[in-house]
Amino acid sequence: MVRILLSGCNGKMGRMITACVAERCDCTIVAGLDINTENHGGFPVFSNPLNCGVEADVIIDFSHPSALKGVLQFAKERNIPAVVATTGLSADQVEEVRAASACIPAFFSANMSLGISLLMELARKAASVLGGEFDIEILEKHHNQKLDAPSGTALMLAEAVTQGVDYDPQYVYERHSVRKKREKNEIGISSIRGGTIVGEHDVIFAGHDELITLTHTAMSKEIFAQGAINAALFLIDKEPGFYAMKDLVGSV
């Protein structure tokens, strides 16, 4: 039984992970970290990692970017693997995760969905075939409480697309699908925020008289919770290093 320490346990994703773990027999949550120390899951909750003396095999961080430094320090001091699933991390913070991976197994993805991982591969392949002749647009939609735009997933998809084209593209960020004329080396990324949309991502290849759209729609947050749990179990007994969804998918 893998013992999980859950950072951000009282947030929306933390509660979803708690509910998912309760239905599994291969892991359990032994403690939580959160600025809100209410006990909703039947395990102790600590506001400060330094006060947590509970033994754990792995930590899942699905909290807030401001908590990252403390989580990584805790993981390194306890010598336990860390799954970082928090969204909205800066490029510098991703590098902090990468630096920590020299000491511990560290898993990071801006999106924990298996389907998104597949969409990235499809987008990369499509770009390698169509990128020279087709305009490329990425459209992402999320609920009205999401703070970052464009989403980390949209940036992951843009990066996948750039790996499939033979030119150095520039990203153009827009909100609410405001369009302008694109240069040939530009990839448009448009963001929509509204209602309770869990997450939708389209990679659009627009050519002469034809349109190809690759789409992923998240129907609930459970897919992200299960992805984080599976990543945590994947890290057990791994050597220190930086792991991502492609490593998890390749192990299945």
| Positions marked catalytic | 142, 146
Is 138 in contact with 187 (CB distance < 8 Å)? yes
Asked if the peptide bond before residue 150 counts as cis, ω within 30 degrees of 0, the response is yes
Tokens of 63: 């909290």
d(C-alpha 239, C-alpha 216), whole Å: 32
- Bridge partners of residue 200, in order along the sequence: 141, 217
Residues 109, 16: Cα–Cα separation, whole Å: 18
Q: In one letter, which amino acid is 67?
A: A
Look up residue 60 and give its two tokens: 């899942």
Judging by DSSP bridges, how do beta strands 170-175 and 186-193 pair with one another?
parallel
User: Other CB atoms closer than 10 Å to residue 194's CB: what's the count?
Assistant: 11
Taken in order 78, 84, 86, 87, the sign of the CA dihedral is: positive
Give all strands of the β-sheet with 199-207 in edge-to-edge order.
Answer: 170-175, 186-193, 135-142, 199-207, 210-218
Report how far apart the first and last C-alpha atoms of the chain are (Å, whole number): 20
